[in-house]
């Protein structure tokens, strides 16, 4: 059963230089209880897509359906009700917290907005802080008194406040040290097991995505080029861009790093102001041919059950 369904979603931004097509026709589904990793280079549109799902940025076309409800026409109380089902964890835990408010007030805010009584909200905050491994007296302290990993735990507690069904994790560990990163990832996995929450996990760090994701969607220049199970993506990637991303990812084993095949991308990442015709990856693809310059490939099923947008797969 699909908890999240995106159908041909577009997000555009008007600039002095023209129209930026940040998200350019994305269709995607996320199942109940699933963690879907969304990966790609910086600037590919993955964070913009995450913000569009929670209506922090408007869509220019398509549909976003959460738990069977189309988000586009929702306003006022109906939108507030749907936002209780889908929350977001941001990349910068300090920037997402009010530096002038004690942590307890920040975590309680979504509860109070939803109509909870102060006493009930205060008790809920104690519970939430306990879930993420912070002491109850943390609620009296301010964000600057915590480490980066602790602040991200606070952000997770706030996201869990209203028992959401879906959490958009936008680069939630990219600013953390490696050891702290592992702690936060393990916490997210524990919470998923305990509460059945689903994650859209946005990241450029493939090692993190390999650890946490059930399926992976690969994004390039506002479009999806490959979708597949985690093991399939790592064991047998189909799209040339996916192969290039995996080839560039760090490997702890030096022998394995020397043995793997490298895919060298040519040229610069095109501007979303002026995306290339045909296949969006054709200007950098090592196997591109003439048809790639005018014929955009659609996502098509592959033999191992994934989807790939390439003429030669």
Got the DSSP string for the chain?
-EEEEEEEEEEEEEETTEEEEEEEEEEEEEETT-EEEEE--TTSSHHHHHHHHTTSS--SEEEEEETTEESTT--HHHHHHHHTTEEEE-S-TTTTS-TTS-HHHHHHHHHHHTT--HHHHHHHHHHHHHHTT--GGGGGS-GGGS-HHHHHHHHHHHHHTT--SEEEEESTTTTS-HHHHHHHHHHHHHHHHHH--EEEEEES-HHHHHHH-SEEEEEETTEEEEEEEHHHHHHS--SHHHHHHHHHS--S-HHHHHHSPP-PPPSPPPPTTSPPSSSTTTTT-TT--GGGGT-PPPPEE-TTS-EE--TT-
Give me the percent of the chain exceeding a pLDDT of 90. 69
Mean pLDDT of the chain: 90
Confidence of residue 17 (pLDDT cuts 50, 70, 90): confident
**pLDDT digits 0-9 by tens, 139-170:** 999 999 998 889 999 999 999 999 999 999 99
Q: Is the pLDDT of residue 189 over 90?
A: yes
- Higher pLDDT: 47 or 180? It is 47
**pLDDT digits 0-9 by tens, 100-116:** 999 999 999 999 988 99
- Report pLDDT for 263: 65
Q: Is the pLDDT of residue 174 over 90?
A: no
Give me the percent of the chain exceeding a pLDDT of 70. 95
Confidence of residue 252 (pLDDT cuts 50, 70, 90): low
Average pLDDT over residues 83-107: 88
Confidence of residue 253 (pLDDT cuts 50, 70, 90): low
- Report pLDDT for 75: 87
- Higher pLDDT: 93 or 221? It is 221
Confidence of residue 178 (pLDDT cuts 50, 70, 90): confident
- Report pLDDT for 98: 87
**pLDDT digits 0-9 by tens, 209-247:** 999 999 999 999 999 999 999 999 999 999 999 999 998
Confidence of residue 269 (pLDDT cuts 50, 70, 90): confident
Q: Is the pLDDT of residue 255 over 90?
A: no
**pLDDT digits 0-9 by tens, 117-134:** 999 999 999 999 999 999
- Report pLDDT for 129: 93
Q: Give the pTM.
A: 0.92
Q: Is the pLDDT of residue 309 over 60?
A: yes
- Report pLDDT for 20: 93
Q: Is the pLDDT of residue 259 over 60?
A: no
């Amino acid at each position: 059963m699909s908890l999240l369904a995106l159908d041909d979603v577009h997000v555009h931004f008007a600039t002095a230089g023209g129209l930026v097509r940040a998200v350019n026709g994305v269709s995607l589904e996320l199942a109940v209880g699933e963690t879907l990793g969304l990966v790609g280079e910086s600037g590919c549109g993955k964070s913009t897509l995450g913000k569009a799902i929670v209506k922090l940025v408007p869509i220019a076309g398509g549909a976003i359906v959460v738990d069977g409800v189309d988000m586009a026409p929702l306003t006022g109380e109906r939108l507030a009700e749907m936002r209780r089902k889908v929350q977001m964890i941001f990349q910068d835990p300090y920037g997402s917290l009010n530096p002038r408010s004690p942590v307890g007030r920040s975590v309680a805010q979504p509860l109070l907005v939803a109509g909870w009584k102060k006493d009930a909200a205060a008790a809920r905050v104690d519970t939430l802080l306990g879930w993420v491994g912070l002491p109850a007296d943390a609620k009296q302290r301010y964000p600057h008194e915590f480490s980066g990993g602790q602040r991200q735990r606070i952000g997770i507690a706030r996201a869990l406040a209203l028992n959401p069904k879906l959490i958009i994790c936008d680069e939630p560990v990219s600013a953390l040290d490696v050891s702290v990163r592992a702690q936060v990832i393990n916490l997210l996995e524990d919470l998923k097991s305990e509460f059945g929450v689903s994650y859209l996990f946005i990241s450029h760090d493939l090692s993190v995505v390999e650890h946490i994701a059930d399926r992976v969607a690969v994004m390039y220049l506002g479009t999806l080029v490959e979708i597949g199970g985690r093991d399939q993506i790592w064991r047998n990637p189909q799209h040339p861009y996916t192969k290039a991303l995996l080839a560039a990812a760090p490997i702890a084993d030096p022998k394995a790093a020397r043995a793997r095949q490298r895919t060298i991308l040519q040229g610069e990442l095109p501007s979303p102001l002026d995306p290339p015709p045909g296949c969006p990856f054709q200007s950098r693809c090592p196997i591109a041919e003439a048809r790639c310059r005018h014929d955009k490939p659609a996502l098509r099923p592959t033999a191992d059950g994934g989807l790939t947008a390439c003429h030669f797969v």
